[in-house]
């Protein structure tokens, strides 16, 4: 039983580390994207109901998530 735990602990810990690292990279990229925009993204989506910006932001996050996932997998 102890051998099973030791052999399976490493992949679980690696998965946790990579998921936290990927989330941090995604959050940092979002902050850079928000910083580069000449307007407030939050204000545009929440107050002005800008659906187009919401779609673009969602596509940005999905695309970047796919890139991060592929780079982690190798």
pLDDT 10s digits, 1-24: 678 777 888 888 888 898 899 889
25-61-26 Cα angle (round to 5):
10
Residue 74's pLDDT is: 65
pTM equals: 0.73
User: Encoding tokens for residue 32?
Assistant: 């850079």
Range(s) of the domain holding residue 27:
2-73
Count of domains forming the chain: 1
**Rounded CA gap, 54 and 46, in Å?**
10
């Amino acid at each position: 039983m102890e051998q099973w735990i030791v052999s399976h602990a490493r992949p679980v810990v690696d998965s946790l580390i990579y998921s936290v690292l990927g989330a941090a990279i995604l959050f940092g990229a979002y902050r850079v994207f928000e910083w580069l925009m000449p307007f407030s993204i939050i204000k545009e989506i929440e107050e002005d109901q800008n659906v187009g910006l919401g779609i673009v932001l969602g596509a940005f996050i999905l695309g970047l998530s796919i890139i991060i996932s592929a780079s982690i997998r190798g």
